[in-house]
Amino acid sequence: MSEISVLSPASVANVVCGFDCLGFALSAPCDEMTVRIIEKKTVRIVNRDDFNLPTKPEKNVAGAALLSMLRATDENFGFEVEITKHIKPGSGIGSSAASAAGAVVAANELLDERFSKLELVKFAMDGEQVASGARHADNVAPCVFGGFTLVRSINPIDVIRLDFQPMFVTVVHPQIEVKTSEARKILPKQVSLTDAVRQWSNVGALVSGLQKGDYELISRSLEDFIVEPVRKNLIPKFDEIKNESLRAGALGGGISGSGPSVFMLSETSVTAQKVKNAMRGIYSKTAIDFNIYVTEINAEGVKILDS
Amino acid sequence: MSEISVLSPASVANVVCGFDCLGFALSAPCDEMTVRIIEKKTVRIVNRDDFNLPTKPEKNVAGAALLSMLRATDENFGFEVEITKHIKPGSGIGSSAASAAGAVVAANELLDERFSKLELVKFAMDGEQVASGARHADNVAPCVFGGFTLVRSINPIDVIRLDFQPMFVTVVHPQIEVKTSEARKILPKQVSLTDAVRQWSNVGALVSGLQKGDYELISRSLEDFIVEPVRKNLIPKFDEIKNESLRAGALGGGISGSGPSVFMLSETSVTAQKVKNAMRGIYSKTAIDFNIYVTEINAEGVKILDS
């Protein structure tokens, strides 16, 4: 086996009340990636798309993740990775995480699964650092583990794969730029104990609701008193999008990552389509370009394709 | 059926990271209570212990809860409640909650279970208000529902009974007074977003660990960066008690309610006994009176006795 191809999925981080800990993988869109072993102990990037991403491995998200992995081996070979991105960088649905996670999962398959999923998350976090300057795992964890994950701690890394029932996801991506640095700068440094208690009660309730498949509980728990109130101002029509989605039957939702994409969870695909129509109705009346799609929570994460 | 006797259990609230939301019932100690129907639409309190608790129903925790329940009916009868308390008031293991919850569960049985558990929690909260001035549900919820509960919201009331695996609990009660008002006053009004995120990541992880029966995860999640650091100073030898309990094999634990009792969770009864010995070793060297016991998480809550 000298090359492995994978589909590496988009993902949603900062799931409403679960800022900086809860995330899930999406069934679509996915990046296509092929990793092959090369003789030299280095990483070679071949971009097969029009995003003009860096080809220097240490500047490239997938490259940095693979370099981190190579450093953890005493092998003398390297990797070439061919990337066709379908997840637009900067959309808030984990484009960089898909590159980083897909690369290390594929490479690990070439190494006969030498590394654990948790180790892969750590390598992928070194990729994320290139993209955002922060070694966060909120998107790479669901890509590597699949499904719905909770990152309990970064240092030491502790990822929990949560039990969850199937759900449909409507994602709208208004084609505006939200700078991650700006989205970070407006976060409150301090929060009231009262709001913090409400938030952690909701996180606990959401984890329980996901596990029990109690959709009403999931819906009640999808509240964010801390981050959404400040970040929603970066996203045009956020309140309208949310209110009309709930009216259409969505369980709840919010900003994906640090935006600008907004996601809504629904129990059925029929509802998720209604949510899509409601969202389209709102952005159609504006000058904002956007795209909307309905997908599902992806239980598998990075998918290894048959060679 | 004209009278019902119940055993109403002690409980632990503010379970480490789950300040103001997580609680569980204990198998022991329990108060003994008998509720009987009387002709007049009023509540009569008969205390069968030496705690000198108020006998005016509106000043008595069980009385206030029963009055709240009576107001919700159009019946013309009332209740007499006979109480033998074994849970010492002020110990931090839900003495007042046991009185309030036991009374309304017994009375509801006399009314052929007219009210839902959630309604009983609300009546019992009116009893709690008499005791502490706050309508909180952290202790009455596990008494009424049994097991491990999460109070997601007070208004409207939302209680989730969490799935959990059996665990043993070692409780030490140093016989000192911790005023609830004092314990409240020292709470921080504001917390850093960083600490809040760590706390809600742990709450989510704990709920998941309880459900999966992943004792290592439960142990890792039993961290409190917000309340324990300020309240532990009210409890003599807290750090020593905690450190030696962990060394003896406890999964983790902390202050029960607002203290002074301290609880530790263990996977086995053998470990829970070792924890007891460790705790005894510490307080024995002081002038503080104390008692320690090993019990279990009580899945049933208030227990109705055969008449």
The residues spanned by each domain of chain B are 3-162+298-304, 168-296
Smallest Cα–Cα separation from A21: which of B212, B202, B227?
Answer: B202
Say yes or no for a CB contact (<8 Å) between B190 and A187. Answer: no
- Residues with Cβ within 8 Å of B233's Cβ and at least 6 positions away in sequence, in order, are none
Whether the domain at B3-162+298-304 and the domain at B168-296 fall into the same CATH topology? no
Q: Is the dihedral of CA A142, A145, A150, A152 positive or negative?
A: negative
H/E stretch holding B124 reads helix B117-132
Say yes or no for a CB contact (<8 Å) between A205 and B150. Answer: yes
- pLDDT < 70 regions, chain A: 1, 307
pLDDT at A307: 61
Residues facing residue A24 across a β-bridge = A12, A148
- Residues with Cβ within 8 Å of A46's Cβ and at least 6 positions away in sequence, in order, are A55, A80, A81, A82, A83
Give yes or no for residue B215 having a pLDDT over 80.
yes
The residue from B80, B119, B180, B240 that is catalytic is: B180
The residue from B128, B223, B228, B244 that is catalytic is: B128
Question: Which among A153, A162, A201 has CB closest to B21?
Answer: A201
Q: Which of A152, A189, A198, A217 has the highest number of chain B CBs within 10 A, making it the mutation to test binding with B? A: A152
The residue from A32, A180, A240, A296 that is catalytic is: A180
Residue with token string 């309730």: A205
pLDDT at B301: 98
Q: Looking at the predicted complex, does its ipTM rise above 0.95?
A: yes
Told to judge if B119 belongs to the known catalytic residues of this protein, a careful annotator would answer no
Which whole number is the average pLDDT over B256-275?
A: 97
pLDDT at A70: 97
The alpha-carbon gap from B113 to the nearest alpha carbon of chain A, in Å, equals 24
CB B152 within 8 A of CB B21: yes
CATH number for region B3-162+298-304: 3.30.230.10
Report how far Cα B23 is from the mean position of its chain's Cα atoms: 6
DSSP state letter for A73: S
State how far the Cα of B34 lies from the Cα of B81, in Å rounded to an integer. Answer: 6
Q: Residues of B with CB below 8 A from A191's CB? A: 190-193, 196
What percent of chain B is modeled with pLDDT above 90?
A: 94
State how far the Cα of B89 lies from the Cα of B139, in Å rounded to an integer. Answer: 13
Interface of B with A (CB under 8 A): 17-22, 150-153, 158, 160, 162-163, 187-193, 196-209, 211-212, 217, 220-221, 226
Q: For domain B168-296, give the fold.
A: Alpha-Beta Plaits (3.30.70)
Q: Is B3 exposed, middle or buried (0-12, 13-18, 19+ CB in 10 A)?
A: middle
- Residues with Cβ within 8 Å of A47's Cβ and at least 6 positions away in sequence, in order, are A53, A55, A83, A85
Residue A160 tokens, joined: 């929990």
Residue A303 tokens, joined: 């998918």
B45 or A178, greater pLDDT:
B45
Residues facing residue B60 across a β-bridge = none
The alpha-carbon gap from B154 to the nearest alpha carbon of chain A, in Å, equals 10
Say yes or no for a CB contact (<8 Å) between B18 and A190. Answer: no
Give yes or no for residue B11 having a pLDDT over 80.
yes
pLDDT at B1: 63
Question: Which among A150, A190, A205 has CB closest to B208?
Answer: A150
pLDDT at A179: 82
Residue spans of alpha helices (H) in chain A: 61-71, 95-110, 117-132, 140-145, 180-185, 193-212, 215-221, 228-231, 238-247, 269-284
State how far the Cα of A149 lies from the Cα of A192, in Å rounded to an integer. Answer: 26
State how far the Cα of B57 lies from the Cα of B271, in Å rounded to an integer. Answer: 43
Residue with token string 């296509």: A32
Told to judge if A182 belongs to the known catalytic residues of this protein, a careful annotator would answer no
| pLDDT grade for B134, boundaries at 50, 70 and 90 | confident
Q: Which of A208, A219, A230 has the highest number of chain B CBs within 10 A, making it the mutation to test binding with B? A: A208
Give yes or no for residue B179 having a pLDDT over 90.
no
| pLDDT grade for B221, boundaries at 50, 70 and 90 | very high
Give yes or no for residue B253 having a pLDDT over 90.
yes
Interface of A with B (CB under 8 A): 17-22, 150-153, 158, 160, 162-163, 187-193, 196-209, 211-212, 217, 220-221, 226
| pLDDT grade for B178, boundaries at 50, 70 and 90 | confident
CB B19 within 8 A of CB B226: yes
Residues facing residue B33 across a β-bridge = B6, B83
Give yes or no for residue B128 having a pLDDT over 80.
yes
* Mean per-residue pLDDT of chain B: 96
